[in-house]
Amino acid sequence: MNTGASNPVVLEDVQIKLVKPSAPVIGRVVLNELCMNGKSASYVKHTTFDVSGTPLAGTFRPGQSFGVIPPGKDDNGKPHKVRLYSLASPSWGEDGGGTVISTTPKRLMGEFFPQTARDDPSDHHLFRGVCSNYLCDLKPGDEVLLSGPNGKRFQLPADYVAHDYLFLATGTGIAPFRGMLMELLQGPGGACGSEIHLVMGSPYTTDLLYHDLFERLAAEHSNFHYHTAISREPRGMGRGGLYVDVLLEERLDSFGVLLASPRTLIYVCGLAGMQLGLFGMLARHDLDSNYCTRSVALADTDPADWDAPAIKRGIKPTARCMLEVY
Ligand code: FAD
Ligand code: NAP
């Protein structure tokens, strides 16, 4: 189902790779504070860096990421490789001038599980990711090696008002949407009046990130709607938790109009694989043609019969569905 011709999706030219990981610049930590919604088994920070005086200052657009080069060496004695982190700020940064940028690092930690045939299957020491824990440990004033900007496809369209928006996040996949929502709703030219929906997926309510900000934005802007899909908390009446695509499907009475509109863009960020449920759901309700294409092999089949590998092989997003999943 499609209610008309799509508005073309025009993206701005953005600057990329001004600073290479091989010749990084120094950013100075301004603040580093937890940004979950309560006591949680996860530790996620809102971390900000002052990049004034470097080529990174004033260059970022929300949706882009930047590189962090952690100090020290890896198991092979080589310097640690760069890791990418999504920009969580709007283009004017955290300071209004684009010189303080932010991101949303989550401590990667847990019991070691074997990754290769060479790993000892009985080894279950505490595994700690190198860069995420380095970032989460930082204190204001600490210096960090940074590179970037990275990425040019996952971004807002040049003409904000030509589109409506559905943002789908899981976990730290929320980072780019914090920046995009601030860009759309708090820009110097005034708030964009388009319909904007954010669906945030988290295991527990306490894991929601930047929850207060999104509640405040929803209270201040009647065109912005904030939804949460909590996967591990039962909802009563025998109903289990929700994934973001299941929330959309359960509320198609209201989301159907948005999804069928030729103005709507969908942005998906977070866990690799989260897009598969979305594509299957859109196809089952004949809402997919705006956002994805079906391979020849799937063309004459019933979407109700598709499994995740078939969707992965046969469904490709169009320009109206932007993915940043890994
Ligand atoms: P590493 O030391 O690199 O360890 C990761 C490796 O360990 C992986 O190979 C993994 O398979 C393996 N591993 C994981 N768990 C275990 C285990 N229990 N036992 C054994 N091995 C294990 N991350 C964020 O937190 N916030 C962001 O905003 C963000 N944005 C990103 C944007 C982009 C475009 C990309 C590509 C990635 C982004 N990431 C983000 C992920 C980030 O780049 C790092 O991958 C992440 O922080 C982990 O890095 P690390 O150095 O801590 O882990
Ligand atoms: P998290 O807090 O564990 O939350 C993930 C949520 O998604 C959970 O509620 C989980 O439910 C649910 N989920 C699991 N499988 C799903 C599926 N197939 N479809 C929909 N929802 C699903 O997340 P996290 O640890 O922060 O991880 C976020 C991921 O985003 C990481 O992989 C990170 O690398 C990635 N990320 C990407 C970018 C980017 O590309 N720019 C930026 C930031 C983060 P259950 O666990 O209860 O099953």
Residue 196: what pLDDT?
98
pLDDT in tens, 23-68: 999 999 999 999 999 999 999 999 999 999 999 999 999 999 999 9
Instruction: Indicate which atom in ligand 2 lies nearest the CA of residue 277.
Output: 19
72: alpha, beta or left? (left if phi > 0; alpha if psi -120 to 50): left
Ligand 2 centroid – CA 85 distance (Å): 15
Give me the domains of the chain, ranges plus CATH numbers.
25-150 (2.40.30.10), 160-325 (3.40.50.80)
Instruction: Indicate which atom in ligand 1 lies nearest the CA of residue 172.
Output: 26
The pLDDT of residue 268 is above 90 = yes
DSSP secondary-structure letter at 97? S
The pLDDT of residue 3 is above 80 = no
Q: 3-class DSSP state for residue 179?
A: helix
Q: 3-class DSSP state for residue 174?
A: helix
The residue whose C-alpha atom lies closest to atom 28 belonging to ligand 2 is 171
| Amino acid at position 252, single letter | L
Residue 238: what pLDDT?
87
Share of the chain above pLDDT 70, in %: 98
Contact of 223 with 196, CB cutoff 8 Å: yes
270 alpha carbon, closest ligand: 2
Residues forming a β-bridge with 197: 166, 225
Residue 31: what pLDDT?
98
The residue whose C-alpha atom lies closest to atom 37 belonging to ligand 2 is 270
C-beta 110 within 6 A of ligand 1: yes
Counting ligand 1 atoms within 8 A of each CB, the residue from 46, 49, 84, 125 with the most, and so the one to mutate, is 84
C-beta 103 within 6 A of ligand 1: yes
What mean pLDDT is predicted for residues 87-91? 98
Instruction: Indicate which atom in ligand 1 lies nearest the CA of residue 110.
Output: 18
Looking only at the bridges linking them, the beta strands covering 321-325 and 264-270 are parallel
Measure the CA–CA gap between 136 and 105, rounded to whole angstroms.
7
pLDDT in tens, 4-29: 567 789 999 999 999 999 999 999 99
Ligand 2 centroid – CA 300 distance (Å): 32
Residue 309: what pLDDT?
95
CA distances from 27 to 47, 99, 143, 182, 254 (A): 11, 10, 6, 23, 44
The residue whose C-alpha atom lies closest to atom 34 belonging to ligand 2 is 326
The residue whose C-alpha atom lies closest to atom 25 belonging to ligand 1 is 105
Q: Which has the closest alpha carbon to 57: 4, 94, 22, 88?
A: 94
Which of 4-18, 135-149, 211-225 comes out lowest in average pLDDT? 4-18
C-beta 164 within 6 A of ligand 2: no
Instruction: Indicate which atom in ligand 1 lies nearest the CA of residue 150.
Output: 34
Ligand 1 centroid – CA 49 distance (Å): 20
Residues 11-35 as b/e (b if ≥16 CB within 10 A, e otherwise) read: beebeeeebebeebbebbbbebeeb
Residue 136: what pLDDT?
98
Q: Indicate the pLDDT class of residue 135, thresholds 50, 70 and 90.
A: very high
Residue 5: what pLDDT?
67
Structure tokens at 100: 């303080």
Distance between start and end Cα atoms, the chain? 30
Measure the CA–CA gap between 109 and 32, rounded to whole angstroms.
18
Contact of 150 with 248, CB cutoff 8 Å: no
C-beta 65 within 6 A of ligand 1: yes
Ligand 1 centroid – CA 116 distance (Å): 17
C-beta 273 within 6 A of ligand 2: yes
Measure the CA–CA gap between 219 and 299, rounded to whole angstroms.
43
pLDDT in tens, 102-129: 999 999 999 999 989 999 999 999 999 9
pLDDT in tens, 168-206: 999 999 999 999 999 999 999 999 999 999 999 999 999
